[in-house]
Each structure stands twice: as C-alpha cells, then as structure tokens.
C-alpha cells in the first residue's frame, strides 16, 4: 500500500535520510523507533507528503506522490492521509465536532454529510456527549481522541502519527494504543507511528528501527526473519465494545 524506494533527504550539508527502502501493507500498524536525530520524523513527513525527498519515490495506493504538483498533492493528502501529532493541534475556538468536520469540509463534502460522519466518529471514540465542548473543556485523552477522529473524517488510506501518546498519562496512553488496533481491526485502517514509547512499539505488527538516516532492521515474528519489506503479520484483535461506523463515499470536487 505504501512503497518507498531509495529515499534521500538532506538539509544543507546534513544528510538526514540515506537511501530508505520500505513497504507497508494495507491494515498494518507499524512503529518507527530510533534515537533522536535518526530521521524518523523526516521520514514520516515525506511519507505523509508534508515534505519532499531530494530523490527516490513514494507510492501510496498506486500513486507516485513524488510526481504530483502542489494542488494535486494537497488534494491527495486531504483525501488519503490523516495525521495525529503529539499535541492535538485542535483549533481552540471550535467545538470537538467542528474540529473533526474541518478536513471533510476542506475536501468538498457537504456540511450535512460531514456533520453526520463526524458525530459517528465521536460516538465511536466514546465522545458523543462531548461533541459540543471546546478543547479547553476536554481532558488530554479526550483531545487526542478528537484528533484521531479528525484524522479519520475523510476515510484516509493511512494515518501518520508522530509521538501520538507522548503528552498523555499512562492510562490515556493505553486507551489510545487500544484505539489504534480497534480502528485497524474494524476499518482496515493502516497506521504508521513514530514513537519513543517502547510499550506501544512492542504491540505493533512491525517495528522499524532507524539510526543515522538508515533502517537497521524491522522486527518480525520468530518464524519470519526477512527484511522490512516482508509481508506483515496480523495484529491481535482488540476490544469489541465500540459501535461500528457507517462509511460514506467522499464526494468529488
């Protein structure tokens, strides 16, 4: 579903990524770990089309995004990629429901359809009764769940998460981590997660280890010790307590 080939990236004279090759399958939950300065966030930004590689190709759902112009790339990003950051990045003047709706409205969906889908997502997150609250009225864990709902509003092919639980306490971390797997199991959602959280990394389908701009290895089950491009193993099923979502086809612009 995601194919990276020979990705190089430099900032001035500093080479940050040094020929990255990586394949990620549909429905896989992958963590990327490594020391500070390893290139993890830069790699995630290039996969998420927030930055461009100096050379190499990034293919997502059969589209070589490195060949897209700025307008095409912005449209592709809005429809196919969701983002969750360490700090929720919610707009303080809008309610939880309105924050979730924003990417859908930008993508050209009708207000009615977007509102319905946003409410369904908040219900799925256990936040149906918090939809009318502004970020200042939500707990840290609630804000991050709203951010996940916002990332999902356009039913993206993949969600990119950069230290998503870094600002949460242990209870909210565990809840967020379970949520990722609930979403994968119920919706087939793909997650690529940059993290320093060893507990989260251990629970993902595959862990990509980086150092000095290179992939060192990717953890595999004992019976499969192939390279990081090998087919992923399925994760463990998660909670069955959440209500299912009704999916909508995005409207064309």
pLDDT greater than 90 at residue 13: yes
**Prediction pTM value:** 0.78
Helix (H) or strand (E) holding 32: strand 29-33
CA atoms within 13 A on the CB side of 64: 7
End-to-end CA distance of the chain: 24
In a domain, 38, yes or no: yes
Q: What is the mean pLDDT of residues 218-233?
A: 43
Tokens of 187: 């919706």
pLDDT, position 219: 59
In a domain, 160, yes or no: yes
Q: Using one digit for the tens of pLDDT, what is the confidence trace for 116-140? A: 999 999 998 889 999 999 999 998 8
pLDDT, position 240: 39
Neighbour-count burial of 25, counting CB atoms closer than 10 A to its CB (0-12 exposed, 13-18 middle, 19+ buried): middle
Residue with tokens 């612009």: 253
Using CA atoms, how far residue 204 sits from 27, 33, 173, 184, 200, in Å, is 11, 11, 14, 11, 7
Phi, psi of 184 (to 5 degrees): -65, -45
Q: What is the CATH number of the domain that holds 21?
A: 3.40.50.300
In a domain, 237, yes or no: no
In a domain, 74, yes or no: yes
Q: Using one digit for the tens of pLDDT, what is the confidence trace for 148-178? A: 899 999 989 899 999 887 777 788 788 888 8
Cα separation, 120 vs 123, in Å, equals 5
Pure H helices in 20-169: 40-47, 70-80, 96-106, 111-124, 140-152
Q: Using one digit for the tens of pLDDT, what is the confidence trace for 53-74? A: 999 999 999 999 989 999 999 9
- Contact between 53 and 64 (Cβ < 8 Å): no
Q: How many domains does the chain divide into? A: 1
In a domain, 79, yes or no: yes
Cα separation, 246 vs 243, in Å, equals 10
In a domain, 230, yes or no: no
pLDDT greater than 80 at residue 185: yes
Cα separation, 80 vs 95, in Å, equals 24
Q: Using one digit for the tens of pLDDT, what is the confidence trace for 78-121? A: 999 999 887 778 999 999 999 999 999 998 889 999 999 999 99
pLDDT, position 238: 42
Using CA atoms, how far residue 219 sits from 133, 201, 203, 223, 226, in Å, is 41, 10, 11, 11, 9
pLDDT, position 230: 40
Q: Which domain holds residue 187?
A: 2-218
In a domain, 231, yes or no: no
In a domain, 146, yes or no: yes
Q: What is the mean pLDDT of residues 8-19?
A: 96
Q: Using one digit for the tens of pLDDT, what is the confidence trace for 96-108? A: 999 999 999 998 8
């Amino acid at each position: 579903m995601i194919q990276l080939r020979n990705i190089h990236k430099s900032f001035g004279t500093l080479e940050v990524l040094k020929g990255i090759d990586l394949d990620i399958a549909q429905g896989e939950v992958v963590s990327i770990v490594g020391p500070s300065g390893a290139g993890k966030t830069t790699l995630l930004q290039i996969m998420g089309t927030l930055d461009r590689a100096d050379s190499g190709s990034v293919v997502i759902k059969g589209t070589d995004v490195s060949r897209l112009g700025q307008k095409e790339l912005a449209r592709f990003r809005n429809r196919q990629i969701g983002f969750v950051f360490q700090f929720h990045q919610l707009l303080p003047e809008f309610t939880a429901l309105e924050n979730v709706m924003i990417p859908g409205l930008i993508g050209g969906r009708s207000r009615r359809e977007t509102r319905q889908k946003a409410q369904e997502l908040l219900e799925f997150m256990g936040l149906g009764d918090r939809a009318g609250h502004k970020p200042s009225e939500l707990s840290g864990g609630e804000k991050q769940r709203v951010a996940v709902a916002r990332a999902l509003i356009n039913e993206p092919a993949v969600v990119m998460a950069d230290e998503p639980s870094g600002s949460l306490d242990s209870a909210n971390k565990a809840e967020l981590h379970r949520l990722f797997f609930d979403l994968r199991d119920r919706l087939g959602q793909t997650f690529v997660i940059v993290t320093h959280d060893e507990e989260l990394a251990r629970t993902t389908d595959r862990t990509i280890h980086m150092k000095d701009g290179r992939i060192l290895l990717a953890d595999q089950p004992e019976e499969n010790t192939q390279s990081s491009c090998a087919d992923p193993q399925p994760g463990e099923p998660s909670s069955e307590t959440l209500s299912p979502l009704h999916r909508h086809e995005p409207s064309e612009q």
